[in-house]
Amino acid sequence: MSKISDIMIESLQTQLKTALVLTPDSEGYEASLVRWSETGIKPAGVVVQAVDSADISTALLWAQKHGLDVAVKGGGHSTAGTSSSDGGLVIDLSRMKNVKVDPMAKTVNAQGGATWKEVDEAGAAYGLATVGGTVNHTGIGGLTLGGGYGWLSGQYGLTIDNLLSARVVLADGSLVTASASEHPELFWGLRGAGYNFGVVVDFTYQAYDQAELVFSGILAFTSERLEQVFEQLNAILAIPDSRSGAMCIFAQAPDGSGPMIIVICFYNGATEEGEKRFSGLIHLRPILNTLGMIPYSIVNTLQNPQATYGARKSFKGIFYEPPVDLKFARTVFEDFMAKIQDEPDLMQSAIILEFIDMRKICETPVSATAFASRNFTQNGIIYLRWTDESKDLEHRTWAREIQAKWKTKLDTRVIGQKREGEVPQYINYAERKSFPLLYV
């Protein structure tokens, strides 16, 4: 790749009408490199903070003319650094966060650099919501293009199942609209494998009437309750309810008082319905119970305190077929906590298991989009967080070892146990990038 000269930068600046151009000498350059995980930070040769599609087009053509590496930054949550470039051009969309709601059509149009916070809040102002991420500072760009799960997936499917159209700047600089009727092949690819087809200027989503308040919150249990908690979670998922979901998290108590099992509960309905749904868990006498009626947009902030910016991070996806095997869960929990005791730098790490009603997601044929994993397998994440850079390889290797245990468990479970109506998905789980496909 060629080195970026002052003359090249001058020509870029002359061509750009509105974008901010940041080079290593510019004020704001270092700040523009910041990503959710320090592992995602790379020293860009130049950062173009675009404000419209013309900026994006100009920057793309300029980079190609000079044979430069190009990265696109949406919300900056890739732990693998896919939204950063070492010495090349970063097209940074963080100044493109506008969201427009059409309350009559019940659609939300959001620019490619928006986060779910902007989308959730704009929708809420009109009593609407769409399927977004469960941590609201995540970018809509990477999440949508990878598929996208959220608390509303049980009712409405994946984020891509609610994507109506996307306006995309292609490599030749042209701006096209991709939808079911325009550039349908591109639209197919964007939905699930979308990171490299172009730069998405904005996304238009189907939205739904959403009551302001939903039943949600956190239950926390001490470690001896693990088997009982999973018995309850297994029982809850065995009788799926599209309006309900849960997440079980193995973590250290924030006050350092020891290992905990945290369950985030979600029910898109009233208190009585939610309490009934989660009564088995509530009766286990959690040490913390914050369940109650809260705004839907606030549900997507519940994990923010554990998902702050800073430090080095790794996400490894795990996939499991419910019901969770209690003995296996116990072993994973103990191994994880022992590791954290040995390596206090990993103290803020967690293992997260999702319990989502997959029926709606599986209603869409696998061939309808580029998202390959429509099945009843549940998703989880091994989330490691540390500060010592010299431990990167060691920690990632360890996460892969735990991941391999889940894979073995899944492989042995899947054989011969297909559910009625389920299309078997013999995908190679080992090839799935960290975090379920979408978590690049």
Residue type, 121: E
| Token pair in block for residue 91 | 């097209």
Residue list 100-119, contact with ligand FAD (CB under 6 A): 112
Closest approach of Cβ 417 to ligand FAD, in Å? 26
For ligand FAD, give the closer residue by CB, 76 or 226. Answer: 76
CB 112 within 8 A of CB 96: yes
Residue list 338-357, contact with ligand FAD (CB under 6 A): none
Give CA separation, 40 vs 76, 175, 252, 305, 312, in Å: 8, 28, 25, 20, 8
Closest approach of Cβ 438 to ligand FAD, in Å? 4
Ranges assigned E (strand) in 296-418: 312-320, 350-356, 378-386
Q: Which of 7, 93, 81 is nearest to 44 (CA)?
A: 81
Ranges assigned E (strand) in 124-222: 128-129, 163-169, 175-179, 199-206, 208-209, 213-222
- 440 binding ligand FAD? (CB under 6 A): yes
- 141 binding ligand FAD? (CB under 6 A): yes
Q: Which of 46, 41, 51, 58 is nearest to 9 (CA)?
A: 46
For ligand FAD, give the closer residue by CB, 45 or 74. Answer: 74
CB 65 within 8 A of CB 425: no
One of 88, 123, 146, 274 touching ligand FAD (CB under 6 A): 146
- 83 binding ligand FAD? (CB under 6 A): yes
One of 145, 207, 264, 352 touching ligand FAD (CB under 6 A): 145
Q: Which stretch binds ligand FAD (CB under 6 A): 10-18, 70-78, 274-282, 367-375?
A: 70-78
For ligand FAD, give the closer residue by CB, 71 or 229. Answer: 71
Q: Would you give the binding string for ligand FAD spanning residues 19-48, x where CB under 6 A is met?
A: -----------------x------------
For ligand FAD, give the closer residue by CB, 141 or 192. Answer: 141
Q: Which stretch binds ligand FAD (CB under 6 A): 131-139, 285-293, 328-336, 388-396?
A: 131-139
d(CA 328, CA 90): 43
- 135 binding ligand FAD? (CB under 6 A): yes
- 76 binding ligand FAD? (CB under 6 A): yes
- 195 binding ligand FAD? (CB under 6 A): yes
Q: What residues form DSSP beta bridges with 356?
A: 245
- The rounded Cα 399 to chain-centroid distance in angstroms is 18
| Helices of type H across 136-256 | 140-146, 153-156, 184-193, 226-238
- The rounded Cα 1 to chain-centroid distance in angstroms is 31
One of 44, 129, 200, 299 touching ligand FAD (CB under 6 A): 200
User: Which positions touch ligand FAD (CB under 6 A)?
Assistant: 36, 71-78, 82-83, 93, 112, 133-135, 138-139, 141-143, 145-146, 148-150, 195, 199-200, 307, 435, 438-440
